[in-house]
């Protein structure tokens, strides 16, 4: 099953927001951003800008007819700054002009009088000052304090992981049109059409029924458009609503990088305790999440960090506490893995630290502690259908772990200036929105009288192939060719009250709803066939567009069946609702069964470090992954490859950097590096484990969008392994990303320390 979209993409035929034909009278919007990271907004001088050529109007917080509030989880985020500014790049005013160039030119004429306030960029400092987004949360199982006393070995340390820029190819954008009843229609590049609709209604002071949001597809989202497409949708809508012209707002790349939040950086303290036979008996961890200036999705991201505290391991005594810390940076947000990767990096750091101190390989500890069937996670869900050991053992044998280890050791003996390293990275990722109520959606399926089919769901296509998967589900269920099926745009008037396309659950949720709708239509058509053609209902089916009665082709095809049903006034439309069964969670005790199922896998990564330059290559990533019964292996393989490389980028090259004034230094593709073809691993093998899948997974084909990102963590530890082959006693802080600069620091600790102190002196 191939992805239906790429052929159109490479021919330039796919329509993105910026391809929508521009309507007459369209105004172009540009955002005036706060030039300071924290301060009291005394006044704005708009006079010169208002007189600039082509400028129609400039909007500020005072123009908002409803509430100036777009906070999704916590109402702490104004659409336009009012009274205070809390981060550099915060939207303060919106210029509407006849052309994009005029709008941008006018921005330069605006000045703001801002009284500076102290700026915090560090999460631990924020926590020390009581700047928390929400109260801290603790997941606990067993008695970690007591268990440490029983441990043969106890190690403690600090681990830090950095932010990550989403770098979707299509930047944030919205195009809003005033509608006849005093509402708006918004074309938005969003993963969450309902989120845009809900917040626009609040901002405009109208009902949600007055706001229609439509999404054809995104040029990538990666979580960056789960919540953070909302401000741009609301701003364009505000302009269209007030001025009664269409308003188009498209961020250029650097504005997008400056103004939007990223993956949350975390700084964490860990303590791990092991028995003499290397069982992890106890684990304590404290996470400091750098949330930025507003809550955005941070509390939900924080929660998922806690859910993935123990990764793919069984640890009987765990205390994990997480702080969401308010800093003067753009609000950080969802990013593939949604806090899970940050939690998993810490446990892997703890295991690695223990192994290094004990003179062992991390894999000696990892393998011994993998989850087994029935083991409890700290949140009390049991591992059911657990494939952690199967994934590890398959990877170890299929990719010849022993042989690769021997080859690395031999290479390192023979080479002084190049060293190789190797690491294993097991993963376990929970599938479902951790907020139980979000695990619901609907599908609206029309069969037209010529037998073609139109399907609307809450799913947003962002490159992950969900439209292809949904079309396939419908074609299989109805017994017809996929060529008859069209997946419509995602539109809030056709499918309402949807969750964002996120949590890797889009195909499961919307596929299941589509399946239910198609099953209902199928049954209705077959009942009709049985009366119309006087055949027994039992044993009647549709296969390859042919109606079969007890396996024998009846006198009718799909097309005839549909048109005859229409003549008999049989309903050819169905609207189905799906809610994941069996999921629940009680946050008051932090226990429950939050996930429909878990996804497992293991990656074996090797890397080579140039010990003169600190540069490196990730040589190979070989993965054994639990897809269940994949019904679209080509798409699923693509998701693994893309996610693994994205994860490697987060752990190695990609360094989001702000200065103490909260100014983004990595503000363009000159200063922010993502893996390209040359730095991607030369070998990227994906083995499909033989696993049964799960009934909650669509057609038993497990969710695949986020879990493989965490394979990238293996690249960090493979590099660390190589650095330690050169500098065995070296103290290399557990800080990610492992940039070439950090590698050099690990290779030559004294030299780098000397350079740093002479730079300060100089
Ligand atoms: N793949 C592509 N090509 N583009 C994307 O933006 N987003 C990822 C993942 N794969 C993304 C992607 C993220 S963050 C999620 S949550 C899932 O896709 C969402 O889609 P799914 O639920 O259909 O897997
Ligand atoms: N994952 C991804 N996105 C989300 C979640 C989640 O668990 N909850 C809310 N948004
Ligand atoms: Mo993905 S971070 O859940 O959009």
**Contact (Cβ atoms closer than 8 angstroms) between residue 700 and residue 692:** yes
Q: How confident is the model at residue 553, as a pLDDT? A: 80
Q: Helix, strand, or coil here: 64? A: coil
Per-residue pLDDT tens digits for 98-112: 999 999 999 999 999
Among residues 538, 706, 741, 750, which one is catalytic? 706
Per-residue buried b or exposed e for 329-357, using 16+ beta carbons within 10 Å of the residue's own CB? bbbbbbbbbbbbbbbbbbbbbbbbbbbbe
Query: Would the pLDDT of 451 be above 90?
Result: yes
Q: How confident is the model at residue 754, as a pLDDT? A: 83
Query: Would the pLDDT of 39 be above 90?
Result: yes
Q: How confident is the model at residue 751, as a pLDDT? A: 83
Domains and CATH numbers, the chain: 21-117+180-249 (3.90.1170.50), 120-164+262-369 (3.30.365.10), 395-428+586-762 (3.30.365.10), 440-579 (3.30.365.10)
Q: How confident is the model at residue 5, as a pLDDT? A: 87
Q: How far is the CA of 337 from the centre of ligand 1 (A)?
A: 10
Strand 39-45, strand 84-85: pairing: antiparallel
**Contact (Cβ atoms closer than 8 angstroms) between residue 69 and residue 79:** yes
Q: Is 222 in the pocket of ligand 1 (CB under 6 A)?
A: yes
Element (H, E) at 141: strand 137-141
Q: Which residues contact 592 (CB under 8 A, 6 or more apart)?
A: 379, 380, 381, 584, 585, 586
* Ligand in nearest proximity to the CA of 335: 3
Closest atom, ligand 1, to C-alpha of 469: 23
Per-residue pLDDT tens digits for 667-710: 999 999 999 988 899 999 999 999 999 999 999 999 999 999 99
Q: How far is the CA of 294 from the centre of ligand 2 (A)?
A: 17
Q: Is 267 exposed, middle or buried (0-12, 13-18, 19+ CB in 10 A)?
A: buried
* Ligand in nearest proximity to the CA of 438: 2
3-state helix, strand, coil in the chain (%, to 5): 35, 25, 40
SS (H, E, C) 532-574: HCCCCCCCEEEECCEEEECCEEEEEEHHHHHHHHHHCCCCCEE
Gap between the Cα atoms of 536 and 71, Å rounded: 57
Q: How confident is the model at residue 599, as a pLDDT? A: 98
The closest alpha carbon to 716, from 162, 297, 17, 305, belongs to: 162
Q: How far is the CA of 225 from the centre of ligand 3 (A)?
A: 9
Q: How confident is the model at residue 443, as a pLDDT? A: 98
Is 706 one of the catalytic residues?
Answer: yes
Gap between the Cα atoms of 586 and 496, Å rounded: 27
Query: Would the pLDDT of 759 be above 90?
Result: no
Instruction: Give the residue, by CA position, lying nearest to ligand 1 atom 9.
Output: 705
Q: Is 406 exposed, middle or buried (0-12, 13-18, 19+ CB in 10 A)?
A: exposed
* Per-residue confidence band for 534, with pLDDT thresholds at 50, 70 and 90: confident
Half-sphere exposure of 749 (CA within 13 A, CB side): 11
The fraction of the chain above a pLDDT of 90, given in percent, is 94
Gap between the Cα atoms of 583 and 595, Å rounded: 6
Per-residue pLDDT tens digits for 606-628: 999 999 999 999 999 999 999 99
> Tokens 């901002």 identify what position?
203
Whether omega for the bond prior to residue 737 falls within 30 degrees of 0, making it cis, is yes
Closest atom, ligand 2, to C-alpha of 435: 8
Phi-psi region of 392 (alpha: psi -120 to 50; beta: other; left: phi over 0): alpha
Mutate to test the pocket of ligand 1, among 215, 441, 514, 705 (most ligand atoms within 8 A of CB): 705
The closest alpha carbon to 673, from 714, 616, 635, belongs to: 616
Cα torsion through 51, 52, 57, 58, rounded to 10: -100
Rounded mean pLDDT, 521-548: 93
Per-residue pLDDT tens digits for 550-586: 888 887 899 999 999 999 999 999 999 999 999 999 9
Beta bridge partners of 174: 188, 249
Q: How confident is the model at residue 556, as a pLDDT? A: 86
What one-character DSSP code corresponds to residue 23?
P
Q: How far is the CA of 65 from the centre of ligand 3 (A)?
A: 32
Closest atom, ligand 1, to C-alpha of 502: 16
> Tokens 């458009």 identify what position?
225
Rounded mean pLDDT, 428-441: 98
Gap between the Cα atoms of 726 and 728, Å rounded: 6
Mean pLDDT (the chain, rounded): 97
Query: Would the pLDDT of 755 be above 90?
Result: no
| Cα angle for residues 316, 322, 325 (degrees, 5° grid) | 170
Query: Would the pLDDT of 644 be above 70?
Result: yes
Here the tokens at position 582 are: 């069996």
Instruction: Give the residue, by CA position, lying nearest to ligand 2 atom 2.
Output: 503
Q: How far is the CA of 99 from the centre of ligand 3 (A)?
A: 34
Here the tokens at position 457 are: 């769901």
Instruction: Give the residue, by CA position, lying nearest to ligand 2 atom 1.
Output: 503
The fraction of the chain above a pLDDT of 70, given in percent, is 99
Sequential DSSP letters for 120-139: ---HHHHHHTT-BSS--EEE
Q: Is 463 in the pocket of ligand 1 (CB under 6 A)?
A: yes
Q: Which residues contact 645 (CB under 8 A, 6 or more apart)?
A: 675, 680, 681, 684, 712
Rounded mean pLDDT, 721-729: 94
**Contact (Cβ atoms closer than 8 angstroms) between residue 22 and residue 248:** yes
Query: Would the pLDDT of 127 be above 90?
Result: yes
* Per-residue confidence band for 761, with pLDDT thresholds at 50, 70 and 90: low
Q: Is 507 in the pocket of ligand 1 (CB under 6 A)?
A: yes
Other Cβ atoms less than 10 A from the Cβ of 359: the count is 6
Query: Would the pLDDT of 23 be above 90?
Result: yes
Q: How far is the CA of 432 from the centre of ligand 1 (A)?
A: 14
Q: Is 609 in the pocket of ligand 1 (CB under 6 A)?
A: no
Q: Helix, strand, or coil here: 515? A: helix
Instruction: Give the residue, by CA position, lying nearest to ligand 1 atom 11.
Output: 222
Mutate to test the pocket of ligand 3, among 260, 338, 639 (most ligand atoms within 8 A of CB): 338
Q: Is 502 in the pocket of ligand 2 (CB under 6 A)?
A: yes
Half-sphere exposure of 662 (CA within 13 A, CB side): 31
Query: Would the pLDDT of 1 be above 60?
Result: no
**Euclidean distance between the first and final Cα of the chain, in Å?**
62
Query: Would the pLDDT of 258 be above 70?
Result: yes
Per-residue pLDDT tens digits for 202-218: 999 999 999 999 999 99
Rounded mean pLDDT, 480-488: 97
Rounded mean pLDDT, 270-295: 98
Q: How far is the CA of 304 from the centre of ligand 2 (A)?
A: 8
Here the tokens at position 251 are: 């961020």
Gap between the Cα atoms of 505 and 337, Å rounded: 12
Q: How confident is the model at residue 699, as a pLDDT? A: 98
Residues whose beta carbon lies within 6 Å of some atom of ligand 3: 191, 221, 223, 226, 334-336, 338, 502-503, 706
Query: Would the pLDDT of 760 be above 70?
Result: no
Per-residue buried b or exposed e for 171-192, using 16+ beta carbons within 10 Å of the residue's own CB? bbbbbbbbeeeebbbbbbbbbb
Gap between the Cα atoms of 277 and 588, Å rounded: 36
Per-residue pLDDT tens digits for 303-336: 999 999 999 999 999 999 999 999 999 999 999 9
**Contact (Cβ atoms closer than 8 angstroms) between residue 559 and residue 430:** no
């Amino acid at each position: 099953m191939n992805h239906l979209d790429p052929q159109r993409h490479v021919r330039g035929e796919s329509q993105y927001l910026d391809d929508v034909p521009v309507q007459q009278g369209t105004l172009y919007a540009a955002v005036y951003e706060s030039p300071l990271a924290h301060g009291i907004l005394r006044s704005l001088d708009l006079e010169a800008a208002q007189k600039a050529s082509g400028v129609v109007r400039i909007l500020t917080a005072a123009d908002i007819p409803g509430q100036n509030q777009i906070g999704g989880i916590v109402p702490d985020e104004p659409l336009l700054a009012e009274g205070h500014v809390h981060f550099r790049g915060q939207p303060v005013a919106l210029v509407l002009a006849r052309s994009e160039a005029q709008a941008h030119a006018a921005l330069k004429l605006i000045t703001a009088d801002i009284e500076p306030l102290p700026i915090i960029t560090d999460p631990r400092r924020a926590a020390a000052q009581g700047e928390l987004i929400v109260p801290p949360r603790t997941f606990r199982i067993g008695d970690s304090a007591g268990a440490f006393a029983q441990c043969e070995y106890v190690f403690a340390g600090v681990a830090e992981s950095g932010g990550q820029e989403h770098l979707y190819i299509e930047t944030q954008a919205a195009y809003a049109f005033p509608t006849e009843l005093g509402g708006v229609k918004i074309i938005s590049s969003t993963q969450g059409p309902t989120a845009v609709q809900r917040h626009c209604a609040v901002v405009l002071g109208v009902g949600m029924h007055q706001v229609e949001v439509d999404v054809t597809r995104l040029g990538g989202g990666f979580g960056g458009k789960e919540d953070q497409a909302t401000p741009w949708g609301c701003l364009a809508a505000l302009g269209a609503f007030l001025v009664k012209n269409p308003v188009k707002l498209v961020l250029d790349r650097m504005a997008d990088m400056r103004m939007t939040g990223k993956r949350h950086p975390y700084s964490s303290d860990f303590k791990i305790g092991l028995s003499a036979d290397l069982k992890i008996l106890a684990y304590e961890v404290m996470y400091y999440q750098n949330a930025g200036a507003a809550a955005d999705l941070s509390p939900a991201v924080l929660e998922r960090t806690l859910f993935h505290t123990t990764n793919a391991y069984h640890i009987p005594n765990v205390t994990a506490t997480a702080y969401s810390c308010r800093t003067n940076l753009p609000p950080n947000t969802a990013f593939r893995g949604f806090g899970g990767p940050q939690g998993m990096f810490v446990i892997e750091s703890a295991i690695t630290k223990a192994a290094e101190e004990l003179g062992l390989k991390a894999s000696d500890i990892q393998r011994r502690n993998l989850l087994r069937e029935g083991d409890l996670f700290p949140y009390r869900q049991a591992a059911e259908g657990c494939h952690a050991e199967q994934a590890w053992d398959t990877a170890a044998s299929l990719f010849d772990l022993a042989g690769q280890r021997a080859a690395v050791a031999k290479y390192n003996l023979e080479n002084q200036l190049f060293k190789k390293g190797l690491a294993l990275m097991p993963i376990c990722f929970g599938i479902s929105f951790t907020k139980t109520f979000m695990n619901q959606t609907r599908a609206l399926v029309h069969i037209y009288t010529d037998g073609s089919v139109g399907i609307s769901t809450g799913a947003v296509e962002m490159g992950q192939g969900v439209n292809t998967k949904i079309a396939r589900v419908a074609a299989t269920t109805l017994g017809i060719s996929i060529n008859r099926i069209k997946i419509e745009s995602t539109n809030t008037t056709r499918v309402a009250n949807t969750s964002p396309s996120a949590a890797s659950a889009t195909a499961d949720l919307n596929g299941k709803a589509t399946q239910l709708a198609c099953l209902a239509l199928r049954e209705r058509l077959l009942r009709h066939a049985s009366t119309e053609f006087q055949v027994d209902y039992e044993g009647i089916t549709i296969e390859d567009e042919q109606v079969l009665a007890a396996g024998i082709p009846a006198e009718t095809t799909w097309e005839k069946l549909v048109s005859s049903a229409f003549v008999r006034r049989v309903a050819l439309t169905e609207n189905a609702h799906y809610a994941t069964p069996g999921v629940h969670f009680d946050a008051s005790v932090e226990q429950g069964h939050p996930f429909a199922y878990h996804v497992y896998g293991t990656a074996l990564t090797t890397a080579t470090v140039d010990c003169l330059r600190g540069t490196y290559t990730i040589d190979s990533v070989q993965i054994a992954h639990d897809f269940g019964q994949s019904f679209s292996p080509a798409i699923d393989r693509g998701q693994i490859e893309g996610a693994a490389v994205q994860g490697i980028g987060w752990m190695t090259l990609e360094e989001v950097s702000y200065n103490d004034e909260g100014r983004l230094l990595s503000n363009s593709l000159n200063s922010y590096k993502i893996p390209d073809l040359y730095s991607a691993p030369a070998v990227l093998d994906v083995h499909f484990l033989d696993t049964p899948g799960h009934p909650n997974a669509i057609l038993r084909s497990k969710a695949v969008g986020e879990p493989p990102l965490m394979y990238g963590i293996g690249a960090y530890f493979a590099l660390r392994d190589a650095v330690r082959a050169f500098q065995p006693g070296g103290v290399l802080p557990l800080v990610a990303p492992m940039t070439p600069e950090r590698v050099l620091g690990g290779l030559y600790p004294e030299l780098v320390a000397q350079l740093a102190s002479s730079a300060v002196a100089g």
